[in-house]
Amino acid sequence: MMIPHGVRMNRLSTARLAAALTLACSVAACNPVQSPRGPIPLVMPPPLTTLGAHRLVPTPVSVTPDDGAPFVLTATTAIVVPVGGGEASRVGGMLAALLRPASGFVLPVAAGDGAPPRGAIVVRLGGPASLGPEGYELTVSADSVRIVAVEPAGLFHGVQTFRQLLPAGIEGQHHAVRMASAWTVPPGRIVDRPRFAWRGAMLDVARHFFTVYEVKQYIDLLAMYKMNTLHLHLSDDQGWRIQIDSWPKLTTVGGITEVGGGPGGFYTKDEYAELVRFAGQRFITIVPEIDMPGHTHAAIASYPELGCSKPTPATQTGTAGSYTGTEVGWSTLCPDKDVTYRFVDDVVREISAMTPGAYFHVGGDEVQGLTAEQYASFVERTQEIVYKYGKTMVGWEEVGKARLRPTSIAQQWKSDSALLALRQGAKLIASPAPKAYLDMKYTPTTELGLDWAGLVELRTAYDWDPVTYLPGVAEQSVIGVEAPLWTETVQNITAAQYMTVPRLPAIAEVGWSPASERSWDGFRARIAAHAPRWRLLGINFYPSPQVDW
């Protein structure tokens, strides 16, 4: 599906933006207990009696229920990890930490390679190679739980499945309030692995800044749904969010603004390292984006010699050259100046050095101020810089208009130049705006969000396939899916959660589960059981009327 040209341009008038911002923390979007239809009671679903009735999201590849008694988590359950188990032991420790608040059990994590004691939860590397780098097997009997995977990431995903099989009360953060009569899991076996390698979300921390603490909450949400990539949109016209030692004014000048005139902010290198570490512990790769050559006003306001922009739009309301409106496409780095490439080189070098992940996202979207040749030449020179610093280039699909290396990746969003990239051998990340954009309104009355790509109710976000969405795309050409949250109207993590949940779990299932196992009716029934978990975790959400919560 293509978005007709022009539909997206009129995406946000200033008046509507102002209205959206004043409403940004009214009832529905910022109060987890209220919904547009009134308060939703916290009803705990009954514990599972058979694995066949699981409410797992994403739904697994195969689930085989057994008859017999359930596994019961007790104060004497041991978590058994391999001797000298490194990452496997760490995952065992995370499981113990996850179970502790609600159960009150301080479960020991014991190293042992022999037969585990009765009643243990065994977390161990092994299993068939067919599980791949992120798959796992989970076997539950009255006697034990075994989580086996080829790689630690698979163990982590297996832990998330085990967590979702326990009564919802396991998400409670206070032992004093007991939320289940017993911590049981029905017997059986789950074999599971993801369909796509790239399952991500993007958070725009440029239009509105999000603190390290807020981003960590977002990361925890991704981890719960087996997503493995967090793309951080670190720069745009309204703000520059990452410390660059060789160009300090990027943050001292470019970092202190945001949409609507708020104070902005930025991550120091230590803070960025902390986000990378926190995500890495959850097997989530951070993909940094510096959007270039357009969407660069914050950089140009900091260093005017970089700029060749059209005049700042009339919606500017900031001071000292800052831009706090939401027009797009007008700013650009000067493609013909040496200083531009010194800047790009320094920025890519410093960010690559603090990013262990393989990818660097160069943006490349919505450039109106350059000729086609200038644009292509900018992307090609920047691509060489990205590879020089050892990273794989990712760009919004417009980069398909330049000559791409075959390993470069294009992120499809409006679907009009993705095929140009594909024809050059590039792989695609599927983020079609009418399906995957978390900043689109759910309904005409959603207070926050935009609607240029259409309304995206839950079913719309769920009911699509990343391969068949664009005609002419082969399964091997799609590396995965990503759900972007642009934050022109989204000011804080509570509002971000409202736009993200439940659509992000829907996209997570699109990315993880085999097409043959997916159905809207199935998802609709399973996701309902997640609301009490979100409530206990303090995660705000949109109670879509398409679901019987």
**Residue 429 Cβ vs ligand TNX, minimum distance, rounded to whole Å:** 12
Residues 56, 523: Cα–Cα separation, whole Å: 9
φ, ψ of residue 523 to 5 degrees: the values are -60, -45
Element (H, E) at 443: none
Is residue 44 within 8 A of residue 168, CB to CB? The reply is yes
**Residue 51 Cβ vs ligand TNX, minimum distance, rounded to whole Å:** 40
Residue 134 is among the residues annotated as catalytic for this protein: no
> Which of 365/509 has CB closer to ligand TNX?
365
Pick from 272, 486, 498, 549 the residue near ligand TNX by CB under 6 A.
486
* Residue type for position 466: P
**Residue 511 Cβ vs ligand TNX, minimum distance, rounded to whole Å:** 18
Residues 115-144: x where in contact with ligand TNX by CB under 6 A, - otherwise, as a string: ------------------------------
> Which of 413/542 has CB closer to ligand TNX?
413
SS3 labels along 382-393? HHHHHHHCCCEE
**Contact between 396 and ligand TNX per CB under 6 A:** yes
The structure tokens listed for 8 are: 């997206």
Residues 423, 408: Cα–Cα separation, whole Å: 12
Helix (H, G, I), strand (E, B) or coil at 534: helix
Catalytic pick among 134, 171, 289, 366: 366
**Contact between 442 and ligand TNX per CB under 6 A:** no
Query: What is the side-by-side order of every strand in the sheet holding 62-65?
Result: 62-65, 188-192, 136-140, 145-149, 121-125, 79-81, 109-111
Q: Tokens 């499809």, residue?
A: 412
What Cα–Cα distance (Å) separates residue 338 from each residue in 26, 306, 309, 334, 345? 48, 9, 17, 9, 11
**Contact between 410 and ligand TNX per CB under 6 A:** no
Pick from 96, 102, 153, 328 the residue near ligand TNX by CB under 6 A.
328
The dihedral sign for the CA sequence 237, 240, 246, 249: positive
Pick from 450, 458, 496, 547 the residue near ligand TNX by CB under 6 A.
450
Pick from 137, 171, 350, 366 the residue near ligand TNX by CB under 6 A.
366
Residues in CB range of 163: below 8 A, 6 or more apart: 98, 170, 224
**Residue 313 Cβ vs ligand TNX, minimum distance, rounded to whole Å:** 14
CA quadruple 379, 385, 389, 390: dihedral, nearest 10: 50
> Which of 14/31 has CB closer to ligand TNX?
14
* Residue type for position 187: P
**Contact between 365 and ligand TNX per CB under 6 A:** yes
**Contact between 362 and ligand TNX per CB under 6 A:** no
**Contact between 490 and ligand TNX per CB under 6 A:** no
> Which of 238/302 has CB closer to ligand TNX?
238
Per DSSP, which regions of 114-270 are E strands?
Answer: 121-125, 136-140, 145-149, 183-185, 188-192, 198-204, 229-233, 235-236, 239-240
**Residue 31 Cβ vs ligand TNX, minimum distance, rounded to whole Å:** 25
Pick from 156, 283, 413, 549 the residue near ligand TNX by CB under 6 A.
413
> Which of 137/289 has CB closer to ligand TNX?
289
Chain centroid, CA 45 distance in Å: 27
**Contact between 330 and ligand TNX per CB under 6 A:** no
**Residue 289 Cβ vs ligand TNX, minimum distance, rounded to whole Å:** 10
What Cα–Cα distance (Å) separates residue 325 from each residue in 7, 239, 307, 318? 19, 11, 18, 8
Residues 422-441: x where in contact with ligand TNX by CB under 6 A, - otherwise, as a string: ---------------x-x--
> Which of 153/203 has CB closer to ligand TNX?
203
**Residue 112 Cβ vs ligand TNX, minimum distance, rounded to whole Å:** 50
> Which of 209/413 has CB closer to ligand TNX?
413
φ, ψ of residue 146 to 5 degrees: the values are -125, 125
Interface ranges with ligand TNX (CB under 6 A): 328, 365-366, 396, 413, 437, 439, 450, 486, 488
Active site residues: 366
